[in-house]
Chains A and B, each alone.
Chain A
Amino acid sequence: MAKKTAYMGMLVALAFIFSYIESLIPINVGIPGIKIGLANMVTIVTLYTIGVVPAVVLSLVRIVLTGFTFGNLAMMMYSLGGGMLSLLVMVIARKTKLFSITGVSVLGAVFHNIGQIIVAAIVVENSSLFYYLPVLLVSGVVFGVVIGMVGAVLVKRLSGFIQKQDIF
């Protein structure tokens, strides 16, 4: 149990730091919602090496933490919408075994953006936000591929390690 807690804590810290790093990298193209999704890498690794429930917990904790630390309530709402939809899709996509980790990562990124737009559209009651959809889809694909590829490498290396340590 102690090992498990320590491992989870480490993952949360990692995800948290990635979120912070990402907030430092301004991708200033004037479109809200575009992000690299570094933190999603941790989510993917968790999902593949540990399981669904820890991945969900990790995601929630990270979003709440970063929301309070770097953002505001509205940002947290967007992140929650995006993060949960993204995770849901990733879990399903993984179950179907149709896609590789990269594919799952792309789907996660794309649906993260879709989820954010949906929440934003509900909050500001303005459907014109869907104007950003094409760009967000494309950015999701691009960054999803990158994150997915790195994630795949990590999963490969880490799953052996985790098994050896007998954490879970």
Chain B
Amino acid sequence: MKKKYQALILGIVVIIFAGILLWHGKNTTKTERFEAQFTDVFDTVTNIIGYGESQETFTRQVSELKEQFDYYNQLYDIYNDYDGVNNIKTINDNAGKEPVKVAPEIIDLLKLGKEAYVETNGQVNIAYGSVLSLWHDYREAGLNSPTKAELPPMEEIEAKAAHTDINQLIIDEEASTVYLADAEMSLDVGSIGKGYAVQKVADYAKAHNMNHLLISAGGNVCVVGAKEDGEGWSVGVQNPDLSSDKEYVQKVKLQDMSIVTSGNYQRYYEVAGKRYCHIIDPDTMMPAEHMASVSVIMKDSGKADAMSTALFNMDYEEGKALVESMDGVEAMWILEDGSIQYSSGFSKYLEK
């Protein structure tokens, strides 16, 4: 009897300790979480969060991804030339002159741009470069000397807008060339390029066995898999009211998804006390004024990028109708009065 009693105690002790051992072991074997950051692609801050056994393995992975980013950044650049690279700027420089031979990554992006144009009824137009650059110049000038900030004159805008026909963008897939038939037009892939590149880098990461990763390029967030503990990645949607104590209006949990936000509170300039943001509505040719921000959740970061721009250019009702008519798109609108609207399926992403 006494022996049985002892054996029982011993058994319990062993089980408890085996438990503690496993628990402790589990907690110490985790690969560590690392973060990296760079500021030299797509004019924004890029953050990468991932896991690795050591800082070195993570750094090695990040440098691979960085290389990818650099590549896309050069291809989609509209301001700078790079040695031996035909990029969007090269295409623009040769508008009306001759077709430019480009990498397939540019062809794919431009095809996505054309698709986005159709899907969003022209709210996303990568051939809108001439108007955008006009606004860009006035915005930069306004930021540099706020007292002299002014809006571009309407006739000037209209003159530019006459050269924004996306059908004049001629893609020859077989020859892998791109030609702008209108000498006055130019491409600006700002509305899709960053998102598309993020998606491509995420695909690259996945193909190279990085299964738990978060990539954020200026708030253009794309997550690969879940976090290592199986939890979804938590992404905060920035409060447009920057003076508020509440930094995020909502938090979403994502797994193998992308979220992209377009807002009027980050890149803007003021003219006579009125705020003019950097997203130009093709209908009015003026900065969009429908809302404070809109966030789009889609699988593909490039499409989400395009969609968020499109929704930002529509009023909420129109945008909501568009979102509901599409599969795999959810959106959240923050209106100027601070009220929040959701598409019907958005709540499944909200953090409980």
Contacts and interface: CB of A to CB of B under 8 A. Distances in A.
- Judged by CB atoms under 8 Å, the answer to whether A and B touch is yes
Interface of A: 28-31, 34, 134-135, 138-139, 141-142, 145
B14 A135 contact: no
Interface residues of B, number: 13
B17 A29 contact: no
Contacts of B14: 141-142, 145
Given A142-B14, A145-B10, A145-B14, A30 B20 contact: no
Contact of B25 (A29, A141, A142, A145): A29
Contacts of B26: 29
Interface string B1-35: 00000000010011001101110111011000000
Contacts of A34: 25
Contacts of A29: 21-22, 24-26, 28-29
B29 A135 contact: no
Given A141-B17, A142-B17, A142-B18, A135 B25 contact: yes
Nearest to A27: B25
Contact of A31 (B13, B18, B28): B28
B17 to A, nearest CB: 5
A31 B25 contact: yes
Nearest to A132: B28
18 contacts: A29-B21, A29-B25, A29-B26, A29-B28, A30-B28, A30-B29, A31-B25, A31-B29, A134-B24, A135-B24, A135-B25, A138-B17, A138-B20, A139-B21, A141-B13, A141-B14, A142-B14, A142-B21
Contacts of B17: 138, 141-142
A28 B53 CA distance: 14
Contacts of A135: 20-21, 24-25
A8 B20 CA distance: 38
A9 to B, nearest CB: 35
Nearest to B17: A138
Nearest to A149: B10
Nearest to B20: A138
A143 to B, nearest CB: 10
Nearest to A145: B14
A34 B28 CA distance: 13
Contacts of B13: 141
Nearest to A131: B28
A30 B18 contact: no
Nearest to A30: B29
B21 A138 contact: yes
A49 B18 CA distance: 31
Contacts of A142: 14, 17-18, 21
A116 B18 CA distance: 21
Contacts of B10: 145
Contacts of A138: 17, 20-21
A141 B17 CA distance: 8
Interface in B144-168: none
Given A29-B25, A29-B26, 12 more contacts: A29-B21, A29-B22, A29-B29, A30-B28, A31-B24, A31-B25, A135-B21, A135-B24, A135-B25, A139-B21, A141-B13, A142-B17
A134 B24 CA distance: 10
Contacts of A30: 25, 28-29
B208 to A, nearest CB: 24
B118 to A, nearest CB: 53
A31 B30 CA distance: 11
Interface string B48-91: 00000000000000000000000000000000000000000000
A141 B21 CA distance: 11
A62 to B, nearest CB: 26
Interface string B281-295: 000000000000000
A135 B19 CA distance: 11
A96 to B, nearest CB: 20
B43 to A, nearest CB: 42
